A and B are shown apart, each in its own frame.
Chain A
Amino acid sequence: MKSILTGLGLMLCCAYVCSCSSEKAPEPSNSACDTMVINSARIYAVIQMNCTNHSCHPGGGAPVVADFSSLAKLKSYINANHSTFALRVTGPNADMPQSQSFPALPRAVRDSIACWVEKGMPD
């Protein structure tokens, strides 16, 4: 039993060391927000596809706090919770959409949303 445990321990140590690496993601490219033309319809289509289609932010169900069931409600949420939205949706360590096999939003999409918010969410 002891030899099995020792062997298993050594194998785990080897796997631990071999699988170690240190890499940083490249610097996000500065998308030119000044020249970017983004309208609400485009952003809301992204929100519908990634945030409301999975019954996550439709309002009425949990979590009810972020209700994106209409463009007006999305804008209202962002106006009231600007920093939370930036942290969880557009920031460098954004964690939305969460788990449940939903793919992370591409950086370019996050930048577009951030730019749209920065410009005052134009229609």
Chain B
Amino acid sequence: MLYLRIMTVALLTAPAAMAQDDLSAMFGKDSVRRDGVTSTFKSTRIINGQSNETLAKGDLDFRVAHRFGDIGGSDGGSKTFFGMDNSTDIRIAFEYGITDRLTAGISRSKGSGSLSQLYEVLGKLKVLQQTHDNRIPVGVTLFGNAVVTGMKSAAEEEEPSYFGNFSHRMTYTGQAIITRKFGNALSLAVLPTYIHRNRVAFMDVNDMFALGIGGRLRFSNRVALVVDYFLPFREQASKDYFAERGVKFYNPLGVGVEIDTGGHIFHLNFTNSTAILENQFIPETTSTWRNGQFRWGFNISRRFSLAK
């Protein structure tokens, strides 16, 4: 009888024990997180280029970006305190998170290049978010802006800053930001970019494609190395024409340190591009690292939560 009871108890508890095993196995499988990868980059900019990050719903981001003069070369050195006496571009922006995936913003830049006094309207939409289980292996964010210059028109039609009508003042950027975060330390981005400028100088190009790459390597919870580089595709005839006139175009390269101070994301960076907006630094960079024509710059971001 005792044997029968033991057998009964064993038979009744066996499925439960087996079920426990199965549950453990299932737990093991489900330990792979299925949620979205966050903080691929800490800021909405890598250095010059955009990152995949958008603002959280209701967040207002106040941004200040500054690029100083050449550190070396004929315009740099100790006489300008390594470029700090000059500023090539300054941008002040307000960006707002309409939803967690959609950011809109406005900005004013000094401008550097053939156009100055730039007013920008921008939008950024997170289309795909990378997931931890690799169901979605990359994040995709779309960025677009429209920029208008408020500068006075040049008197001569040969100038790129001659504005026969309002549309001549406009330039645009369209960009896809494809990103992947590898573990906690490394994030990479590829940025196929299209720039359209309504009016350009003779032999310059209205439409320009460029390919950007960027990355972030985290050293600690607060400090990371950030890099971005753009390869603009300019027609050879255009390059030759400008080269004959002493103007050579270079590819923008930015290298910097990103510091998360808690409320601020602070970028200390070095770049050869003088301009801050894509509409200018991609098609119009004429300064090169080799001649000491790189500069110190910073991006400061301060976020305010306006959501209740």
Contacts and interface: CB of A to CB of B under 8 A. Distances in A.
A104 interface: yes
Size bin of chain A's contact surface: 35 or more
B34 interface: no
B206 A80 contact: no
Contacts of B102: 5
Which 3 residue pairs of A and B lie closest in terms of their CB atoms, listed nearest first? A62-B85, A22-B206, A99-B116
Size bin of chain B's contact surface: 35 or more
Contacts of A99: 110-111, 116-117, 151
B247 A92 contact: yes
Chain B contact residues, majority secondary structure: loop
Given A22-B207, A24-B200, A83-B246, A63 B86 contact: yes
Contact of B245 (A21, A92, A101): A92
B116 A95 contact: yes
Interface stretch (A26-34, A47-55, A68-76): A26-34
A16 B159 contact: no
Interface string B132-168: 0000000000001010000110111111111010111
A56 to B, nearest CB: 10
B246 A24 contact: no
Contacts of A66: 75
A26 B157 CA distance: 7
Contacts of A64: 79-80, 85
B199 A21 contact: yes
B307 to A, nearest CB: 13
B114 A93 contact: yes
B286 interface: yes
Contacts of A83: 246
30 contacts: A5-B102, A12-B146, A16-B172, A20-B172, A21-B167, A23-B206, A24-B199, A24-B206, A25-B199, A26-B157, A62-B86, A65-B79, A84-B74, A91-B245, A91-B246, A91-B247, A92-B160, A92-B203, A92-B247, A93-B247, A95-B112, A95-B116, A103-B154, A104-B152, A104-B154, A104-B161, A106-B156, A106-B159, A107-B158, A107-B159
A92 B242 contact: yes
Interface in A77-93: 80-81, 83-84, 86-87, 91-93
A50 to B, nearest CB: 13
B203 to A, nearest CB: 7
A95 B114 contact: yes
B219 interface: no
